[in-house]
Structure 1
Amino acid sequence: MNIGIGLPIGDPTTLLTWARHADAGPFSTLGLLDRLVYDNPEPLVALSVLAGATSRIRVQTEVLLAPLRDTALLAKQAATLDRMTGGRLVLGLGIGGRDDDHRATGTDPRTRGRRLDEQMEVMRRLWSGEPYGEGVGPIGPTPARPGGPEVLFGGFKPAALERVARWGDGFLAAAPPSWAGGLFDTVRGFWQQYGRDGEPRLVAQVNVALGPQDVIDDARTAMHAYYTFTGMADRMVAGMLTTPAEIQEAITAFTDLGADEVMLYCYGLDPAQVDRLADIL
C-alpha cells in the first residue's frame, strides 16, 4: 500500500517544509486540491515548486478543475511538469461543484462534464504528439510518460466513474471505506465494459489531523470553512480521523478493498504532522 500526503492550503509558504519532510519519509505522493474563488495556491504552479524541491515523491492534483482551464494550455502545462519531473506528475481531474468558480472563468457549469470529455480527447491526442487540429501543429513538449501523465478522475456519479474507463488510468475516491467499496466496484465494471487491459488504479482519500488539540482544532476550522458551501460541513468535519488507531484502521480497510494508495489529507498547517504520520505507518 502506498501512502500519500494531501497538503493544507492555508499558508502556501509552509508547503516546502511539508514536501521536504514527506520526500524524506515513507510517502509516495504529495496532493494538492484546486479551487479558483478561494484563498488557496494554484496547484500546478505550487506543485511545480514542490517538485523542484524534492527528488522522488510524486506530485498530484487532487483534483484539478479542468473545465475552468484552456485545454491546449493545460495539456502543455501538464506535459511540461511531467517531463521536467521525470514522470512524477499525477493529474487528478474533476469538474468542480462551485458555481462561482465557473462564473469567474465564464464557463457553463451545466456542460462541465461534456467539456471535460472533450478536453480529454484533445489532451490525449496532444500528449501522443498529434497535431492540435487542421492547420495547427503539435503542442509539446513530449511528456515523460508515453501518452501523457497518469490521469485519475474524482467524482461520485456514474458519468464520472465511467470517465475513468473512457479516458483515465484510475479513480480518486474521496469517500469512507463503507462507501468507497461500491464506487471501486462500479469503476472496475466500467473498466471491463470498455475492454481496458489490467486494472484501474484506485486511490482513496481520508481527512486526518494528528497532534495536540490545537492542531486538530486548526484542521477542523479550515476544513469547515472549505466545505461550508456544501451544507454538510459539520458532518464532513466529524469524519476527520484524529488518532493513530483511526488512521491505521482506515488504511487497513482500504487495503482490504483493493486500493493501491491512500492519501492522508491534512487541513491543519503544522508540518510536524508529516513526521507523526510517518511514525504510525
Structure 2
Amino acid sequence: MKIGLGLPVEDPAALLDWAQRADTGPFSTIGLLDRLVFDNPEPLITLANLAGVTSRIRLQTEVLLAPHHNTALLAKQTATLDRLTGGRFTLGVGVGVREDDCRAAGIDIRQRGRRLDEQMARLRLAWSGKPYDEGVGPIGPAPATPGGPEVLFGGFVPAALDRVGRFGDGFLGAGVPPRIMSGLFRHVETSWQTHGRSGRPRLLAQANAVLGPDATVDRARGNLLDYYGFTGHADTMIEGLLTTPDAIREAVEGYTDIGADEVMLYCWTSDADQIDRFADALKL
C-alpha cells in the first residue's frame, strides 16, 4: 500500500523540510490543498519549489480548484511542473464549494462544474501539443508524461464522480470513512466502464490524521476548525481526525479492503516529526 502525506499549510516556510524528509522516507506522494480566500500557499508555485528539493516522491494538488484559474495559463503551468519533475506531478482537481473563492476569482459559482468540463477538454488538447484554438498555436512546453500529467478528480456528487470516466485517470476521495468511501469508489468504477475506458481508475483515499503530543493534536484540531468552519460541520471533521497509531492503521486497512491504491494522510499542523511517527505507526 502506498502512503502519501497531505502537507500542512499553516507555515509555508516549513514545507521544504516536510518535502525533504518525506522524499528520503517511505512515503509515495506529498500533496497540497487549494483555496483562494484563505491563508494557504498557492499550490502550483509551492509544488514547483518543493520539486527542486526532492527527487523521488510524487507531487500532487488535492485538489486544485481549476475553475478559479485561467485555462491556457493552467495548461502551461501544469505541463511545466510535470516537465520539471520528470513526470512526478499529479493534478488533482475539483470545483470547490466556497462562494467567496468564486467571487474573488470572478466566476459564477453556479457555472463552475460546466467550466471545469470545458477546461478539461482544453487542457487535454494543450497537453497533446495540438493548436490551442483557431489561429492559436500549441501551448508548450510538452509535459514529461505523454498526454499530460495524471489527473485525479475529487468530489462527492454524481457529476464529479462521472468526470473520472470522462476525463480522468483516477479519483481522490476525502474525509469520509471506508464504509462511505466504498460507495464512491464503486460509482467511479461504473463511470469508468460506462465511458469505455480500458484498465481501471486509480483510487485514492484521504484521511485527516495527526500523531504527537497534546499540543500538536490540539493545534491540528484548531486548524481543522478554521478550515472547515464555514461548512457548519467542522465538529464532524474534528471527530473524524485520526489521532492514534491504532486508528490510523485501522483506517489504512479499511481503505485497502475497499480497493484504495493509495492513502493520503492529511496533516494539519507543521510539526514535521509526525513524518517519523506515521512511518513508525504503519511500520513503513
Query: For this structure pair, what is the TM-score category when the shorter chain's length is used for normalisation?
Result: over 0.9
1:115, distance to aligned residue in structure 2 (A): 0.2
Do residues 6 (structure 1) and 6 (structure 2) align?
A: yes
Question: Structure 2 unaligned runs (5+)?
Answer: none
**TM-score normalised per structure 1:** 0.99
Structure 1 segments, 4+ long, off by >4 Å, are none
In structure 1, distance between residues paired with 2:118 and 2:134: 17
Letter in 2 for 1:237: I
CA distance in 2, matches of 1:142, 1:190: 29
8 Å Cα contact 1:218/1:269 also seen in 2: no
Which residue pairs with 1:59 in the alignment? Answer: 59
- Aligned-partner Cα distance in 2 for 1:83–1:189: 32
Displacement of 1:164 in angstroms is 0.6
How far is the alpha carbon of 1:105 from its aligned partner?
A: 1.3
Aligned pair 1:176/2:187, yes or no? no
d(CA) in 2 for partners of 1:105, 1:64: 13
Report the alpha carbon displacement of residue 242 of structure 1 after superposing the two structures with TM.
0.4
Q: Percent identity?
A: 65
> How far is 1:74 from its partner?
0.2
Residue matched to 1:93 = 93
Question: Cα distance, 1:269 vs. partner?
Answer: 1.4
Q: Distance in 1 between matches of 2:267 and 2:105?
A: 28
Whole-Å separation in 1 of the counterparts to 2:108 and 2:87? 32
| Separation in 2, partners of 1:77, 1:28 | 23
Matched residue, 2:252 = 251
Residue number in structure 2 paired with 1:222: 223
Corresponding residue for 1:112?
112
> How far did 1:29 drift?
0.2
| Partners of 1:199 and 1:280 in 2: CA distance | 30
- Opposite residue 230 of structure 2, the aligned amino acid is F
Contact 1:93 1:154 in 2 (8 A): yes
1:235, CA displacement in angstroms? 1.1
Q: Give the corresponding residue for 2:162.
A: 162
Residue in 2 aligned with 1:187?
188
Report the equivalent of 2:266. Answer: 265
- Deviations along 1:49-104, whole A, 9 cap, x unmatched? 11111110000000000000000000000000001100000000000010001111
> 1:150 touches 1:169 (CA, 8 Å); kept in 2?
yes
Q: How far, CA to CA, are the matches of 1:234 and 1:228 in structure 2?
A: 8
Distance in 2 (CA, whole Å) between partners of 1:99 and 1:194 is: 32
In 2, are the aligned partners of 1:120 and 1:167 still within 8 Å (CA)? yes
Query: Residue 76 of structure 2 corresponds to which residue in structure 1?
Result: 76
The yes-or-no answer on 1:240 pairing with 2:241 is yes
Deviation at 1:191, TM superposition (A): 0.4
Q: Alpha-carbon deviation of 1:176?
A: 1.4
Superposed CA RMSD in Å reads 0.5
* CA–CA distance in structure 2, aligned partners of residues 185 and 16 of structure 1: 37
On the 8 A contact 1:3/1:263 being kept in 2, the answer is yes
CA–CA separation in structure 2 for the residues paired with 1:33 and 1:154: 11
Q: Which structure 1 segments of 5+ residues have no match?
A: none
After superposition, the C-alpha distances for 1:131-156 in whole angstroms (9 at most, x for unaligned) are 01110000000101010000000000
Instruction: State how far apart, in whole Å, the 2-side matches of 1:152 and 1:20 are.
Output: 24
Give the C-alpha shift of residue 279 in structure 1.
1.1
- Distance in 2 (CA, whole Å) between partners of 1:59 and 1:108 is 30
